[in-house]
Structure 1
Amino acid sequence: MERLKIGIITQVRVTSTRLPAKVLLTVSGRSYLEHHLDRLARTGLPVIVATTTNFNDDLVVQLCTEDGFPVFRGSEDDVLSRFAGAAREHDLDGIVRVTSDCPLIDPEIVAAGVDRWRAENDPDLYISNCLERTYPRGMDFEIFSAARLYDAEQNATLTADREHVTSYLHQNRSGEMRLLNLPWSGGGSQYRLTLDTPDDWKLLDVLFENFDADQLNCAQLVKILDEHPELATLNAHIEQKKLGE
């Protein structure tokens, strides 16, 4: 059987509301976006950046081009169509969806998810590690077939479904999806290793500068936060934005 072509698509835009241009902030000599892309590249899968046609994102395109990552530009608000365009342009059979505010995403965890999705060999299967929260925020991925992405692109009418890409799939609006959550027993689900607010930035800065976080996996990062509760409190109060906000 022909091996399916699976690629990682990460969404990026610099007009984020809570911390504008957050992925272009730098730490340890590189932007947070580059740390994110470096980690994804370690999976051995193609990594595609899906950004917007907004001129503010020209900087994203420039940075990714210099680092050798392909970029697809599409709608700022209809992120579902942007993902579908990126998948088509790169002729993907399967898509790993991640978001660019995860500079410490663990490539081994993502790769294991892809192995599982391949093994199941079911185009109607949606696999994620965040249907139920067992990982720290910042480790999230979702995997689904291009066929299901194109079906959502064609049939999703709710604004939230267009903006959040996968809600049409994981809410099973088609009635044809099989959902599978891959849980984690390593703890740390209360922690935020994501870059969404100034307080998240404070924590990540400390982890990169003082603990060489770019070299650590999820378990090692959780261990640091377990051993240094004063670090975890830097962003423990942040409320995650709800679907539709």
Structure 2
Amino acid sequence: MKKVGIISQARMTSTRLPGKVLLPVGGHPLLQYHVERVQQSGLSLYLATTTNATDDLIANFASARQLPCTRGDEHDVLARYQQCAAAHDLDVIVRVTSDCPLLDGKLIAGSVQAYIQATDERLYLSNVLERTFPRGLDFEVFSRELLEEAFLHATLPADREHVTPYIHQNRSGQVHFQHIMRRADRSAYRLTVDTTEDFELIRRLIEDYGAANLTTDELIELLNQHPELVALNAHIEQKKL
């Protein structure tokens, strides 16, 4: 059996909205929603934060909830993933980011099952390259083999900071791809938190519409029915790699 783990990167020093992952919504920090929804996958979850004193809050959050937490270099997030995967002897890694409080654990679980069934150590499976899901529901699945290869050979700063470009840009020339896609493209919707506008949308979705208990399809239908909510952060541009 392959040992699969979800690794979520988290830090307090976001440039556009510092401390965003611990901002309170509905009486809980955003990170709590992220953790609970990801854990619905039934897979083990690990946090990967930095050694900065500012991220002691992340480590304390993890400790209070008995979540494994790896700490490493702020800018070399790839090394943090490699360190976490090695420490817990993971065979398959699911990469997510902690600024996505409405990730769907069951969607992740189904996609991991498809990955396992493919029996291909060179496979990169995700819903981010051929994007049809809203931002904020992103996940990537890849083998320890591909992670170690990237860790050893990736040299560009963007490769180290963003973890998977070396893999999904197929720098080795030996990566295979599988895309998880929806029939209806809703990639213009933003369910990630990077700005105050993003946070306001997530706050309203959770506090006013019970979004923390909705599936992916239910979340998307809610946004379909409420264009005024979509408009709250429709103008926000995603930061470039």
TM-score bin, normalised by smaller chain: over 0.9
What is the rounded CA distance, in whole Å, between the counterparts of 1:204 and 1:50 in structure 2? 23
Which one of the candidate residues 158, 161, 171 is aligned to 2:159? 161
What is the rounded CA distance, in whole Å, between the counterparts of 1:181 and 1:174 in structure 2? 19
Match of residue 206 from structure 2: 208
How do 1:179-190 residues align onto structure 2 when only pairs under 5 Å count? 179-190=177-188
Aligned residues: 241
Taking only aligned residues, the RMSD between alpha carbons, in angstroms, comes to: 0.8
Q: Structure 1 stretches (4+) deviating beyond 6 angstroms?
A: none
Match of residue 216 from structure 2: 218
What is the rounded CA distance, in whole Å, between the counterparts of 2:182 and 2:8 in structure 1? 22
Q: How many Å apart are 1:180 and its aligned residue?
A: 1.3
Which one of the candidate residues 24, 47, 50 is aligned to 2:48? 50
Cα deviation, 1:82-121, whole Å, max 9, x if unaligned, reads 1000000110000000000100001111111100110001
One-letter code aligned to 1:33? L
Match of residue 142 from structure 1: 140
2:30 aligned with 1:32: yes
2:187 aligned with 1:197: no
What is the rounded CA distance, in whole Å, between the counterparts of 1:41 and 1:51 in structure 2? 18
Indicate if the aligned counterparts of 1:14 and 1:20 stay in contact, CA closer than 8 A. Answer: yes
What is the rounded CA distance, in whole Å, between the counterparts of 1:94 and 1:221 in structure 2? 28
Q: What's the % identity of the aligned pairs? A: 51
Runs (5+) with no aligned partner, structure 2: none
Indicate if the aligned counterparts of 1:187 and 1:222 stay in contact, CA closer than 8 A. Answer: no
What is the rounded CA distance, in whole Å, between the counterparts of 2:222 and 2:233 in structure 1? 15
What is the rounded CA distance, in whole Å, between the counterparts of 1:159 and 1:187 in structure 2? 31
One-letter code aligned to 2:169? Q
Match of residue 115 from structure 2: 117
One-letter code aligned to 1:53? T
What is the rounded CA distance, in whole Å, between the counterparts of 2:123 and 2:186 in structure 1? 27
Indicate if the aligned counterparts of 1:97 and 1:143 stay in contact, CA closer than 8 A. Answer: yes
Q: Provide the TM-score with structure 2 as the length reference.
A: 0.98
Runs (5+) with no aligned partner, structure 1: none
One-letter code aligned to 2:146? R
What is the rounded CA distance, in whole Å, between the counterparts of 1:80 and 1:20 in structure 2? 21
